[in-house]
A and B are shown apart, each in its own frame.
Chain A
Amino acid sequence: MSSSPQIRNFCILAHIDHGKSTLADRFLELTHAVAPRNLKEQLLDDMDLERERGITIKAHPVTMFYEHRDTLYQLNLIDTPGHVDFSYEVARSIAACEGAILLVDATQGVEAQTVAHAHLAGSKHLTIVPALNKIDLPNADPERTLKQLEDILAIPSDEVLWVSAKTGQGVEVLLRRVIEKVPPPYTEQDELRALIFDSVYDDFRGAVAYVRIKDGEVRPGQEILLMSTGKRYLVKEVGRFRPQASKADCLRSGDVGYLVSNIKSCAELRIGDTITDAARPSPRPFPGFPEMKPMLFASIYPIEGGDYERLRTAIEKLRLNDSALVVQPATSTALGHGFRCGFLGMLHLEIVLERLRREHGVIIITTRPNVVYRLHLTSGEEIIVDNPAYWPEVHLIRVVEEPIVDFFIMGPRTCLGEIIKLVREKRGRIRETETIDPERLLIKGTMPLSELITDFHDRLKSVSRGYSSLDYEVTGYEPSDLVRLDILVHGEVVDAFASIVHRSQAREQGRALCRTLKQTIPRQLFPVAIQAAVGRTIVARETLPALRKDVTAKCYGGDITRKRKLLERQKAGKKRMRMFGKVPIPQEAFLKVLRGDGQV
């Protein structure tokens, strides 16, 4: 049917740090979308956390205009994150586009997310425009990268453009290639059909939908219908990202933009849902996105019980902007009221915690994250357990199953031995290895998800000196000999430290945990036993000796005020620690255990 020949919708796909956001900067510059004085590096990464960590976390859409062969084109670009935890953002962006630039850092070569994202884009029939980046760098190796593209992704070398997102070399050619190769959007019907591919919450405007209009048009004042719920709303404003929100009279078939209506919460605004016209609804919706399932769970508690309400408000706020975050209320004997949260991965978890701390100023304790287990009980019942607190007594369990991933690693051949060792240690199996080129291998295998999420990625990087990358996908469940490892401090079980581990690792993990806690719990006026137990069996033990020195040798007239204030401050500091029986445990201990510090 009719198309919008002057529009191109495309995203930039690449492995982490290969230069997507920098390339987007050059496009913005080239198309004068941003005044030169407002340009800054990775301009689209506008969240504080993104700027600080130097990575993209959310997909960022932007509309640009560019004249090519006497035609003015509207180019809708989506910059995507490269980190494996945020692959779902990539999947959504792909659904809003007809084409994708596949960018490969020529100093690194093809890596795991290059492959994963290229396959995903291909399966959705996007036109791929491949390009090598960072060719300005002396250690760039274009020939080798071209060969990898050809061998792994069957991309012919003569289709690959060479650019430097830093210097701008080749960038204009690339933009023209996008216009020439990526097909314009096409429409199938007259009725409005818009895909919600993202949403943000804005204090002033409420829930803002990021939309790709496939068919029809939408304008303020129009009554719309959300196809999954059948609910009707009134459109208040539509507009485009330039890159700031900029009002428009109307969004038409082919457009990417935003839509504000009287939808209050992001919960009502499901990502993947279809918006249509209430008076003239579309005959059918888009297929939507597969539901995002959290990979790991952890509980969050306020340090001070009185902060519960603040924490609740903070989490609700975060959820408005982060539909990947799953939240339920939770209670712990030791920690009181809090929340059980589901995350997409470790980075997602870290980011949520950091935002809670930074944007909402709540001091929190977090439990060790774990995956979701499937338990077959002796009673014949099957239950799902995502919290060690609900792990049944040993004698009630017949079989435990844990989630398994298929992974693939791209890494240097010289590190194969180390990688194999690491995979074995993590209870994984290698199924096959493929040669990419004389130096690099593609290693495929399976491994329990719980092992992969803890520190596998970091360890992999360190054994290969940064030259490995990883992608994975949960494929199913497998039986495994898992037990709950409890931690007791001075005889009290601290439920926040409990974790599910493989029986063969219980002793060693228990030892490592006890050691970590011994280093972080302050010495008390009495010796403190720190123990790890499986059921009733103690598998590890450390003793924190009693405090030996805590004295002000000299205290005369002049020092009394100072001394009193110091003691008062220290006492207040102690209040901010959680008491477990007679022992205060500092937040640092929870962080260390959470990060798996000192783990084997």
Chain B
Amino acid sequence: MTPHRGPQTAPTALWDDCRDAALYVHVPFCTRKCPYCAFYSIPLDDTSLCRKYLEALDMEIAQATRCRCIRTVYVGGGTPTALDAASLELLMGTIRGALQESPEEWTCEANPESLDGDKAALLAAAGVDRISIGAQTFDPDGLRTLGRRHGAADTRRAVEACRRAGIENVSLDLMYGYPGSSLRRIEQDIRNLMALAPAHVSVYALSVEPGTPLDRMVQRREIELPGDESHALQYELLRRRLAEGGYRQYELSNFALPGYRCRHNWTYWSGGQYIGCGPGAHSFSGGKRWWNPPDLVRWCTSVLESGRPQIEFDEHLSSEKRARELLVVALRRSEGVNRGWFRTLTGFDYRQLCAPVVRQLCDLGLLTDQGDRLRLTEKAYFVSDAVFRELI
């Protein structure tokens, strides 16, 4: 066996010198904190803080998008729609102003209870063409368990509002594997979801993040999560029903009608560049990764003082680490990893980079290596981290 060789040419140029980038904007406000959430967000009760945020964001975005060609925009949170209509309009205006040309896709996240007709209309007017709604479940008990403030009716109203505003590309988030979730409830959720006919669906298992109130409840045994087996069965059921409904799975947690994959997220899974603005936002560009301080005040202060945020963390990976990371992230995509593409991007051949593990995982039926393409088998989807651990 020959030892794998490092990059011969400088293929990383493809990655690092390209001007194309995806823009992520973090809105750090929520009406109230959900018990399972570990994202950076704070309650929106100080309007002056919100003004400061918008002011700093304007500076950061202007600076960050200079000399870059923004292909997609994703406004996430937190809850962007928790802002009042005027602030939301200001935020969208800021983003718009920084873009040289219209992006190929512009997504805004929304919570069902805070997306009304007015907001949907102003988003559409600003250029937003995709809305991702945190439906989670249609079951009232489920919503209560998850500490959500909306009901199924709110979700329906929100989807309706998007459509009336002319936004066809609506995505719904569904949650499974939370306390009280069951196959029966998933069947009902799927029926309710299909009735709304979203273009895109993301499904998430509730994950218990350390330090959250949910984590404490689990530690204290106040609530019990479904076991691994029922998690797996719920996931299988979701995949089956969504496939029957015409949704194609294109990533471990993402499903779309043909032509409706999320391009922004696709960038993440394909090693593309992205720029994150707002507190706690992550960026990856020029082979470097960094992130902003996950603290509104610290982030604001540094941006307002110097025009750019003080970097909380940055790293520059060796070419091998970067290649392994890309392999693992890109294998999340159902289409897997093309061998030539991977070689061009990283300078490594994955067969050599991960010999003999690739072979062993293929023998176990967890990967398929079809010559020019490496893919997770469906059987490996729900144990993919165990596969990735071998490859990283």
Q: How far is the CB of B43 from chain A (nearest CB, A)?
A: 21
Given that A551-B384, A554-B204, A557-B274 are contacting pairs, would A574 and B389 also be in contact in the complex, using a CB cutoff of 8 Å? yes
Q: Are A548 and B386 in contact (CB under 8 A)?
A: no
| A72 touches B (CB below 8 Å) | no
Given A557-B24, A561-B282, CB of A548 within 8 Å of CB of B392: no
Please indicate which of the listed interface residues B265, B329, B380, B386 has the most CB atoms of chain A within 10 Å of its own CB: B386
- What distance in Å separates the Cβ of B246 from its nearest Cβ neighbour in chain A? 22
With a cutoff of 8 Å between Cβ atoms, the chain B residues found around residue A567 in the complex are: 328, 385, 388-389, 392
Q: Cβ of A571: which chain B residues have Cβ within 8 Å of it?
A: 389-390, 392
Q: Are A553 and B389 in contact (CB under 8 A)?
A: no
Please, how many residues of chain B have a CB less than 8 angstroms from a CB on the other chain?
Answer: 46
Given A526-B364, A548-B229, does the pair A553, B252 have CB atoms closer than 8 Å? yes
Say how far B257's CB is from chain A's closest CB, in angstroms: 21
Distance from A561 Cβ to chain B, minimum over Cβ atoms (Å) = 6
B281 beta carbon closer than 8 Å to chain A: yes
Contact (Cβ within 8 A) A548 B232:
yes
Q: Does A35 count as interface, using CB distance less than 8 angstroms?
A: no
List of B residues within 8 angstroms of A550 by Cβ: 382-386
Task: Output the nearest chain A residue to B251 by Cβ-Cβ distance.
Answer: A555
A58–B252 Cα distance when bound, in Å, is 60
| In contact, A560 and B205 (Cβ under 8 angstroms) | no
User: Which residues in chain B, 290-319, are within 8 Å of chain A measured between CB atoms?
Assistant: 291, 313, 315
Q: How far is the CA of A556 from the CA of B202 in the complex (A)?
A: 12
Across the interface, which residues of A come within 8 angstroms of B338, CB to CB? none
- State whether the Cβ of A549 lies closer than 8 Å to any Cβ in chain B: yes
Overall SS of chain A's interface? loop
Q: Does A384 interact with chain B (Cβ within 8 Å)?
A: no
Cβ of B231 under 8 Å from chain A: yes
Interface residues of B in 188-231 (CB under 8 A from A): 203-205, 207, 228-229, 231
Docked-complex contact B289 and A560, CB < 8 angstroms: yes
Contact of A547 among B291, B361, B381, B383 (CB under 8 A): B383
A546–B380 CA distance with the chains assembled, in angstroms: 11
Partner of B205 from the list A546, A551, A556, A558 (CB cut-off 8 Å) is: A551
Contact check, B366 vs A525: say whether CB atoms are below 8 A apart: yes
* CB-contact partner of A568 in B207, B231, B282, B392, under 8 A: B392
Judge whether A561 and B385 touch: CB under 8 Å: no
Q: For the complex, is A328 an interface residue (Cβ under 8 Å from B)? A: no
Q: Would B231 and A570 count as touching, CB distance under 8 A?
A: no
Contact between chains at A549 and B232 (CB < 8 Å): yes
Interface residues of B in 29-43 (CB under 8 A from A): none
Q: B85 at the A/B interface (Cβ < 8 Å)? A: no
Roughly how many angstroms separate A561 CA and B290 CA in the complex, as a whole number? Answer: 9
CA distance A550 to B376 in the complex (A): 14
* Given A553-B205, A557-B24, A570-B389, A548 and B364 contact (CB-CB distance below 8 Å): no
Whether A395 sits at the interface, judged by CB under 8 Å, is no
Whole-angstrom CA separation of A549 from B205 in the bound complex: 11
Residue among B207, B268, B321, B383 with most chain A CB within 10 A: B383
Q: Are A564 and B328 in contact (CB under 8 A)?
A: yes
Q: Which residues of A contact B265 (CB under 8 A)?
A: 556
Chain B residues positioned under 8 Å from A564 (CB to CB)? 321, 325, 328, 392
In the assembled complex, A139 has its CB within 8 A of some CB on chain B: no
A548–B381 CA distance with the chains assembled, in angstroms: 10
Alpha-carbon gap, A564 to B253, bound state (A): 18
Q: State the CA gap A555–B321 with chains docked (Å).
A: 18
Q: Please state if A558 and B364 are interface contacts (CB–CB under 8 Å).
A: no
With both chains docked as a complex, state the minimum distance between the C-beta of A467 and any C-beta of chain B, in angstroms: 35
Are A549's CB and B366's CB within 8 A?
no
State A574–B332 Cα separation when bound (angstroms).
Answer: 22
Q: Does A552 contact B (CB under 8 A)?
A: yes
Chain B residues closer than 8 Å to A561, beta-carbon distance: 282, 289, 291, 313, 315
Q: Would you call B284 and A560 a contact (CB within 8 A)?
A: yes
Most buried by B among A553, A554, A555, A574: A553
Give residues 358-392 of B contacting A (CB, 8 Å). 361, 364, 366, 380-390, 392
Instruction: Give bound CA distance, A570 to B390, whole Å.
Output: 10
Given A564-B328, A571-B389, A551 contacting B381 (CB threshold 8 A): yes
| Contact mask for chain B residues 54-88; partner A; CB cutoff 8 A; 1 contact, 0 none | 00000000000000000000000000000000000
- Among residues of B, the one whose C-beta sits closest to the C-beta of A524 is B386
- Within A559-579, the residues touching B (CB, 8 Å) are 560-561, 564, 567-568, 570-571, 574
Please, which residues of chain A bring their CB within 8 A of the CB of B112?
A: none
Cα of A548 to Cα of B233 in the assembled complex, Å: 9
Pick the contact of B385: A526, A552, A558, A560 (CB < 8 A): A552
Could you tell me the distance between the alpha carbons of A568 and B315 in the complex, rounded to whole angstroms? 15
Q: Evaluate contact between A560 and B252: CB separation under 8 angstroms.
A: no
CA distance A546 to B366 in the complex (A): 12
B282: chain A residues at CB < 8 Å are: 557-558, 560-561
CB distance from A550 to the nearest CB of B (A): 4
Rounded to whole Å, the gap between the CB of A527 and the closest CB of chain B is 11
A555 near B315 with CB under 8 A, answer no
Q: Is the CB of A553 within 8 A of B386?
A: no
Contacts of B276 in A (CB 8 A): 557-558
In the complex the two chains form, what is the Cα distance from A554 to B315 in whole Å? 22
Q: How far is the CA of A71 from the CA of B265 in the complex (A)?
A: 92
Complexed CA–CA distance, A556 and B390 (Å): 21
Contacts of B228 in A (CB 8 A): 548-549
State in angstroms the CA–CA spacing of A526 and B363 once bound together: 11
- B contact residues around A546 at 8 Å (CB): 383
User: B268 and A557: CB pair below 8 A?
Assistant: yes
CB atoms of A553 and B204 under 8 A apart: yes
Tell me the complex Cα distance, A557–B289, Å. Answer: 10
Q: Give the interface centre of A526, A549, A560, A567 by most chain B CB atoms within 10 Å.
A: A549
Q: How far is the CB of A5 from chain B (nearest CB, A)?
A: 68
**Cβ–Cβ < 8 Å partners of B389 in chain A:** 567, 570-571, 574
Q: Is the CB of B329 within 8 A of A560?
A: yes
Q: Complex: how many Å from CA A548 to CA B328? A: 19
B384 partner residues in chain A, CB cutoff 8 A = 550-552
**Alpha-carbon gap, A295 to B109, bound state (A):** 70
A228 to chain B, nearest CB (A): 58
Q: Judge whether A551 and B383 touch: CB under 8 Å.
A: yes
Q: How far is the CB of A327 from chain B (nearest CB, A)?
A: 37
A135 to chain B, nearest CB (A): 45
Further 4 A-B residue pairs, CB within 8 A, beyond A551-B382, A561-B282, A564-B325: A553-B203, A560-B282, A560-B284, A564-B392
* Interchain residue pairs with CB less than 8 A apart (29): A525-B380, A525-B387, A547-B386, A548-B228, A548-B383, A549-B229, A549-B382, A550-B382, A550-B385, A551-B383, A551-B385, A553-B205, A553-B207, A553-B253, A554-B207, A554-B253, A555-B268, A555-B269, A557-B22, A557-B268, A557-B282, A558-B280, A560-B289, A560-B325, A561-B282, A561-B289, A561-B313, A567-B388, A567-B389
- Which 8 A-B residue pairings sit nearest by Cβ, starting from the closest? A549-B228, A558-B282, A548-B228, A567-B392, A550-B386, A550-B385, A553-B205, A550-B383
